[in-house]
Chains A and B, each alone.
Chain A
Amino acid sequence: MAAIETVGLTRMFGRRCAVDSVSMTAPKHAVYGFLGRNGAGKTTTMKMLIGLLRPTSGVARVCGVDVAQDRRGAARKIGVLLEAHGFYAHLSGRENLDLTRRLLGLAATEIDRVLEVVGMTRDGGRRVGDYSLGMRQRLGIARALLGSPPVLMLDEPTNGLDPDGIADMRLFLRELPIRAGATVLLSSHLLGEIEQTATHVGVIHEGRLVVEGELARLKAELAPEIGLRVDDPARARAVLQSLDLTLSEDAGGLVARLRPGNDHDQVCAALNRELVAAGVAVFAIGARARSLEGVYRAASALSQSRFAESV
């Protein structure tokens, strides 16, 4: 049984479709990175998973519990960090946690436990109004951990953090499945953040889940790419047009995407030969690391081409 599962989850706002038939699966003990641009449908999907929004159609399940049928049963299985933390600034971190603890009917010792997990035992007595954003994020995670729910849903947990805070948070999130035995659903619009934290990813684009799976597998399935740094990219493009590959350009220079099955070394040598023969100076040529950005770009491109075909 998956920790989180949706089947054909759809949500309309009037005539606008914010989430379009999303079927996603987050396996147990995974760190599932839910990736998409701002406005892609991440938050709407997450709100349906915690019962804040009702789906127009489709099903959302948390640990097998249908959210629409048994909201409270599903809510017992999931701890949530929302973008708006909802802390009472005039109360201390400990007092804020205590309010939620009482609503959940948990023992008072839970507060010490979760504060320790997020490394905030010393700061628990301070007013939340005096906390930095990073401390509020960690307190939010502590609150989500109350009662040790099997699933944690964290909406943009590194938002507003400084570089050190982001690095700490990444490490913390990576360790969460081991520390807390939980499955983590992590939403972000930052590719690097997801790449360094998640074991599984789902990419949502204009309300549709365009790619999903284990991150390592998705990267392995990517067509190999060769990066090129040349003196005249326009001329290089013209020279390479006759070869069986796809050319694009990014901040690092030209990128040649190979066809599946092409021999990487052979193509590299052929590219170099053609360019040198045509008088293009080649400064650097080599394999590019397969990245989540590549997965994301490929998925977005596929989604756009499908959309163009359907119009």
Chain B
Amino acid sequence: MLAVLSVEIRKLNRSLALVLAATAPALIAVFAFSMLLRSETPWEWERWIGSATAIWAYFMMPMCVTALTALVAHMEHGPRSWDHLRALPVPRWTLYASKAVCVIGLVLIMSAAVLAMTIGAVVLGGLIKPEAAAAGGLDLAAHAWILAKIAAAAVLMIALQFWTAIRFASFVPGLVLGIGGTFFGVVATSAKEGVFMPWQMPVNILATEAWRVQTALTLGGGLGLVVLAAAVIHLARREG
């Protein structure tokens, strides 16, 4: 599994995945930076990081997961390399599992980048405009913990996007699923039933009701791992 994972990372290193991984958190940081320059009064650190985290969980993460899964799938669909890979004397499930691990790893890296880049943008903005510099203390561990829970709640969404992107050689089914999921996630955010929708589970980690947080974590994380395992088994066993 480690050899397959290292090969997957090498392929990703030379692809546009890292550009995507850097761009999405950077956009959130640029937005925070612009907001700070427009602000006349200082905001608390919690408000800055909280806003960035919400933007990330609300729609940036679902869109990035759609793009990332399409990208890792099309690294093989594009040059039609599945037959070559599947004919090698390696367990087939490792080919798919390593890709899934890479996607989850990239989502975690992007989550950390959201935190790091937002802090950087707010610090920089504060240097340029001291009267709007962030106030109060920065509880880095608490923010990192919330972002980790958001990533955990996203596993079900990642599993579904991953399954679709690898299963179909065309990128259209994966994009339709991702765009559709994000759309309903955005337009129906306030719906209580939204917590049962995979694309809304990450943002439900920020809910004030404890049951919503628990449900998002249990379904998104727990069921997500089950669905991910089912996807890997199904993809490894199917022909072609």
A interface, CB within 8 angstroms of B: 47, 50-54, 71-73, 75-76, 80, 82, 84-91, 95, 98-100, 102-105, 143
**Which chain A positions have C-beta within 8 A of B88?**
75, 100, 103-104
Pick the contact of A91: B4, B14, B90, B239 (CB < 8 A). B14
**Which chain B positions have C-beta within 8 A of A143?**
84
B81 at the interface (CB under 8 A from A): yes
Complex interface bits, B67-104 against A, C-beta within 8 A gives 1, otherwise 0? 00000000110011111111111110000000000000
**A80 close to B90 (CB less than 8 A):** no
B11 at the interface (CB under 8 A from A): yes
B19 at the interface (CB under 8 A from A): no
A-B contact pairs, 7 of them (CB 8 A): A82-B84, A85-B79, A87-B81, A88-B11, A100-B88, A103-B4, A104-B88
Closest 5 CB pairs of A and B: A86-B81, A84-B80, A75-B89, A86-B84, A72-B89
B7 at the interface (CB under 8 A from A): yes
In this complex, the interface size class of chain B, counting residues with CB under 8 Å from chain A, is 20 to 34
**Which chain A positions have C-beta within 8 A of B75?**
88
- Given A82-B83, A84-B80, A87-B81, the answer on whether A105 and B3 have CB atoms closer than 8 Å is yes
**A73 close to B81 (CB less than 8 A):** no
* CA–CA, A80 and B88, complex, Å: 9
**A80 close to B81 (CB less than 8 A):** no
* CA–CA, A112 and B79, complex, Å: 24
Most chain A beta-carbon contacts within 10 A, residue among B3, B15, B89:
B89
Q: Which of B1-43 contact A (CB under 8 A)?
A: 3-4, 6-7, 10-11, 14-15
B240 at the interface (CB under 8 A from A): yes
**Which chain B positions have C-beta within 8 A of A103?**
3-4, 7, 85, 88, 90
**Which chain B positions have C-beta within 8 A of A80?**
84, 87
**Which chain B positions have C-beta within 8 A of A52?**
83, 86-87, 239-240
B interface, CB within 8 angstroms of A: 3-4, 6-7, 10-11, 14-15, 75-76, 79-91, 239-240
* Chain B residue with the shortest CB-CB distance to A53: B239
**A75 close to B87 (CB less than 8 A):** yes
**Which chain A positions have C-beta within 8 A of B239?**
52-54
* CA–CA, A76 and B14, complex, Å: 28
CB distance from A34 to the nearest CB of B (A): 17
* Chain B residue with the shortest CB-CB distance to A70: B89
**A72 close to B91 (CB less than 8 A):** yes
- Given A52-B239, A91-B14, A102-B7, the answer on whether A72 and B79 have CB atoms closer than 8 Å is no
- Given A99-B11, A102-B6, A103-B7, the answer on whether A76 and B82 have CB atoms closer than 8 Å is no
CB distance from A75 to the nearest CB of B (A): 4
* CA–CA, A105 and B91, complex, Å: 13
**Which chain B positions have C-beta within 8 A of A75?**
87-89
**A102 close to B90 (CB less than 8 A):** no
**B81 close to A51 (CB less than 8 A):** no
**B79 close to A87 (CB less than 8 A):** yes
CB distance from A269 to the nearest CB of B (A): 57
**B10 close to A50 (CB less than 8 A):** no
* CA–CA, A70 and B3, complex, Å: 21
* CA–CA, A88 and B84, complex, Å: 12
**B89 close to A99 (CB less than 8 A):** no
* CA–CA, A85 and B87, complex, Å: 12
* Chain B residue with the shortest CB-CB distance to A100: B88
* CA–CA, A90 and B76, complex, Å: 13
**B3 close to A99 (CB less than 8 A):** no
**B80 close to A102 (CB less than 8 A):** no
* CA–CA, A82 and B14, complex, Å: 24
**A85 close to B91 (CB less than 8 A):** no
**B89 close to A86 (CB less than 8 A):** no
* Chain B residue with the shortest CB-CB distance to A86: B81
* CA–CA, A52 and B92, complex, Å: 11
**Which chain B positions have C-beta within 8 A of A87?**
79, 81
**Which chain A positions have C-beta within 8 A of B85?**
86, 103
* CA–CA, A50 and B76, complex, Å: 19
* CA–CA, A86 and B15, complex, Å: 16
**A99 close to B83 (CB less than 8 A):** no
* CA–CA, A53 and B91, complex, Å: 16
